Amino acid sequence: MNVVRLGRPKGGLNAPLHSISLLRFKLYPRSRFAYVKFRLKSDTLNSPASDLLLLNIPRNELGIQMLSKELKEQIFPGTKSSVPKIKAALAVEHLKRQNIWGKNVQPVPNTGFKLPPLKGGNIEEHFKILGKNQSEPYLSRAKAWSNSKELPPRPTNWQFISGWTKYDLDGSAIPVKYPEDDFLVFDIETLLSESDYPLFAVAVGSSGWYAWVSPRLTGESDKLSHLIPMGNTGKVIVGHNVGFDRARILEEYNGSGSNNVFLDTMSLHIAVGGLSSHQRVSWINYAKAVEKNDSEYLQNEQVTGRYFGVSSINRLSEVAKLYCGIHLDKSARDLLVSGTIEEIRDEIYPLMDYCASDVSATHEVFKKVFPRFLRKCPHPVSFAGILHMGNSFLTVNRTWEEYIEKSEKTYNDMSRSIENKLKELALAAMKTSEDGSFADDDWLKHLDWTTTPLKMTKPKFKKDGTYAKNGEPRPYTNQFLPGYPEWYKASYDKKSNDLRITTRTRIAPYLLKLKWRGYPVYYSKGHGWTFRVPVEDDIGGNVKPCTFTEDPLDPNYEEYPISDVAGKYYRIPHKDGEQAKCGNPLSKGYINAFEDGILTSEYPAAREALNMNAMCSYWISARERIRSQFVVWNKENEHVGNLGFAEQEPDNEVGIILPQTATMGTITRRAVEATWLTASNAKKNRIGSELKSMIRAPPGYLIVGADVDSEELWISSLMGDGQFGLHGATALGWMTLQGTKSQGTDLHSKTASIVGINRDQAKIFNYGRIYGAGLKFATQLLLQFNPEVDEKTAVERSTTLYNATKGVKERSLKYFGKPFWHGGTESYMFNCLEHIATSANPTTPVLGCTIPDALLPENVENQFMTSRVNWVVQSSGVDYLHLLLVSMKYLIDRYNIQARFMVSVHDEVRYLVKKEDQYRAALAMQISNLWTRSLFSYKVGIHDLPQSVGFFSCVDIDHVLRKETDMDCVTPSNPEPIPHGHQYTIEDILEKTNNGQLGDPIEETVEENTPNASKKPTFEFEEYFDREYLEAQMYTDISDIEAVLSGRQSPFIEDNLREIEKISNPGDSEEIIVDIETALGEPKSKPETKEVDASSPTYITGSLNQLLGKKAPGARGNSKRRSQLNKFINQASRSNE
């Protein structure tokens, strides 16, 4: 037997094993290994129940568990992981200084199975081939079109005929079913005031122009639901914000998808010349100054001027002006926004000219921006990735309409309830005017009690002194609530003829008699909501009272606080810091203050009002976007048939929503969509927050997907680890890979303990910091989480956090010729991120995408560093997503898995899958994640991967879309829990797929030509991070850094190398005695002894499977089976002596 010895070395973490208690085992049907539960016992270690798969654990020099040899040899063929000893020793010292080295780590199952073979010679060539194959023929067509010279002549006489008309090169107009060209520039127009369906469209290809007119517009049909046929012939369709146009194309409403692909000139522009959120306002102001020729402003904003010349906001008119110098006349747009169908019909010819002008401008923009995009994003996966992202779709059934109705009803009912209670309080307050007691009330006295008396007409008398006919005094007409105070009149709704006060009304906190820390609230024009404290009271902390102007001419002058010599006023804290004003203490941001007893009221209605605000906040913000979703139903649109779904429930129609996505909607190339990509998860106190779960799989299908675990955190930490060439070499890398919540060694737990917040809040701190946010962000966040913390304390805690994580920034150039961070858990990572962000041409390390022109250092100097660091992290996250999508597309097509990409929300990916293929799709997702992580590791120069990140922690298989399969999705509008889905680990999936069998691959029709893959990492750490710099970053004290540069020999090197040696060569193992505590049955056949791979734990378990056979219920004390197992273990031990 050639197997590793089933034992552990003496001493430390690796205490000798004296016995294995076998607890239970389960044979995987049709597989070559068993699942064995056991407990390890020794004089120093009694472990929890564990898996036999853990017994043969490959580790790197730092003890990080790596992929099994079986997987590594398939993903990194012909490579060896060798790291200079000095780097490993420095990594150990850094981990010691961060109190991490030597922490006990629980191993995870060490998985091995046969993967689909790589294309090309390595993982990088593999992805280049996949990307190239999936990009064609679309990429070649797009390149050819961008090099084309002139468009065909635009028609001068449009035909007002329903359907498609082609305007040939000779000027003739011919009815066609759909455009014949394989490359089109396209634009549609709608009348949104009437319907989401299209009214007319214009397209152009190399063979001529095309126009489509809806039968609704020509008067041939009363139905609104007409979609535009495009054919299913593999067209490339270009448009500006083309996601809007795609949602009106007939062939896209099919569960199997179409063969057409879409390229968005708006997204291409954003990747090339887009603006960050911080730049956008400055750009708009600069554009206004240019228009007004404001020379003084332009002189003062020279940096803005530099990026102004290479960027623009995203409107077609501005993009066309930037790249082509085209000035579009958009006046006709007004009619399409506010006109009627009759007005559109009357002006159809000028409107079609207008649409054709947009098509021409889009064509010219595409010719300019597409070649630039390919230079910015040269990897074929980046192009293929946006094609896949542009084909998202969602399925619903009639529960969609029920959801909207229930949410709206719940919202209205709740709003009315609170309004009625506030109305009761207002009427009660009115009664205090009878005796004037409002003047002594700490809240009501601040209302405006000014009244306007009832005005009567002048009486007319007869000579005898009696009233003349109709001469009695009468109230003047059109008087509004005479005799009522101004606050009451301001709250009166004339339309409903009733008092209407909501939680957003200014007087609501007064009526509810709110208190902050036991003191009455007061609204100040200059300070927002405050609370009044008697002058003799000390509220502690460093908060300063408000000051008020004494100038009566000042617009913020307030008579009451100035005259109140017995009180002082403090601002109610705001999450954005002491300079921000509290606009409404009843807003959802103050719910925690109410729960903590900081915000109080004598009325139960106050709590109800706060809860109602929280419950309604999501629906208020999202209801219009949700209600306006464009859903195409199969029964309402006979021309779409069954939407491609063979199985239909007679009482539950199927509908499709095409998210109108900008595939690269931000400068980091993240996709943007107004509803689905921002949808929150279901919360018990948020009306309508079950939105995502309204996406339902049609009959016969399931939704399969996963969240990439700590995606951008891992990417960031990998850049720091890459300097050492070792996974887990930095404190951040180690915490990301091996840290646990239970031991408090993961990043979020560490941050929570430093700042004094909970772990969920710490996540926001950590991601904000990694995205480049500074102390100001952390301070504001802490004030938001804990209103009782004053700003000085918040600054101190945030500074402590940043010193411990980012470290201290040395700005002097005398040490390494550049500023650098040192002494923190994340210093290595930030130095790497900032090195990329400040380089002449910032590029993502994996796919080599370059930052947009508006953030290039030559255009912004040292400004916008937060945006630039954020770009490195988030744009790398987009690389990850594109790689994942391309891999999934390859496996779906290669193994004929019936699955289609649905949607991706940053680190979530979901597919619609036929039920019979659910486990194969889940396996494809795991393989895709493994390949993607491996390429990231490969590109930073580490040819291995930690086991803990190789696979998704689980793949979700569900019938609805939701963050977690066990979420009930119970909300105020959905009181009934939704049945749960299922989660499957890689071990579960291997069991379901006969140990990783995707099935028989279908024959490939694309030619496999191997592109030249780079032999070096994209980011060459050796060049930028030498040995002295590597060591210097770990030190807090600058004197240690100076000692390193002076040539000091680090005293710890030899000791650390010896500790590494212990991990690499654990020494002799002791013989293991096996105590079988589980009843075992008789074997079906005589066990065989085979030669097996020493590094593959699946072979060890396979041998045990042969020895143990299948468990027989009720069989006990089988000495024969015990003897066989002992013999196997003893043979295994002796074979390595």
Per-position DSSP letters for 577-607, written without gaps between them: -TTS-BS-TTSGGGHHHHHTTSEE-SSHHHH
CA distance 991 to 986: 9
Per-position DSSP letters for 202-262, written without gaps between them: EEEETTEEEEEE-HHHHTS-S----PBP--SS--EEEETTHHHHHTTBGGGSSTT--S-EE
Place of tokens 């103050």: 590
Residue type at position 925: M
Q: H/E/C letters for each residue in 686-742?
A: CCCCCHHHHCECCCCEEEEEEECCCHHHHHHHHHHHCCCCCCCCCHHHHHHHHCCCC
Q: Which two tokens stand for residue 766?
A: 């950590």
**Number of neighbouring beta carbons within 10 Å of residue 26:** 12
Q: Identify whether the C-beta of residue 184 lies closer than 8 Å to the C-beta of residue 142.
A: no
CA distance 802 to 686: 34
Which CA distances in Å does 1121 have to 55, 129, 505, 818, 1105? 21, 51, 79, 68, 12
Say which DSSP state 1112 is in: -
Clarify whether 498 is annotated catalytic: no
CA distance 773 to 794: 16
Residue length of the chain = 1137
Place of tokens 């994580």: 805
Q: Which residues of 486-498 are buried (b: 16+ CB within 10 A; e: fewer)?
A: ebbbebbeeeeee
Q: Angle, to 10 degrees, between the axis of helix 380-389 and the axis of helix 865-894?
A: 80
Q: Identify whether the C-beta of residue 1135 lies closer than 8 Å to the C-beta of residue 1.
A: yes
Closest CA to 154 of 349, 322, 325, 366: 349
Query: How do strand 899-905 and strand 820-822 relate by DSSP bridges?
Result: unpaired
Integer-rounded Cα Rg, in Å, for the chain is 35
* Residue 66: strand pairing partners: 946
Q: How far is CA 171 from the centre of its chain?
A: 50
CA distance 817 to 833: 17
> What SS3 state is found at 986?
helix
Q: Which helix (H) or strand (E) holds 1130?
A: helix 1119-1134
Here the contacts of 805-809 (C-beta below 8 Å, separation 24 or greater) are: 805/751, 805/769, 806/769, 806/830, 807/1033, 807/1036, 808/1036
Q: Which two tokens stand for residue 69?
A: 């040899």
Say which DSSP state 853 is in: G
CA distance 399 to 695: 9
Q: Is the bond preceding 137 in cis, omega lying within 30 degrees of 0?
A: yes
Choose the catalytic residue: 187, 746, 790, 956.
Answer: 187
CA distance 593 to 425: 23
**Number of neighbouring beta carbons within 10 Å of residue 372:** 17
Closest CA to 806 of 839, 771, 779: 771
Closest CA to 110 of 23, 4, 30: 4
Q: Which residues are catalytic?
A: 187
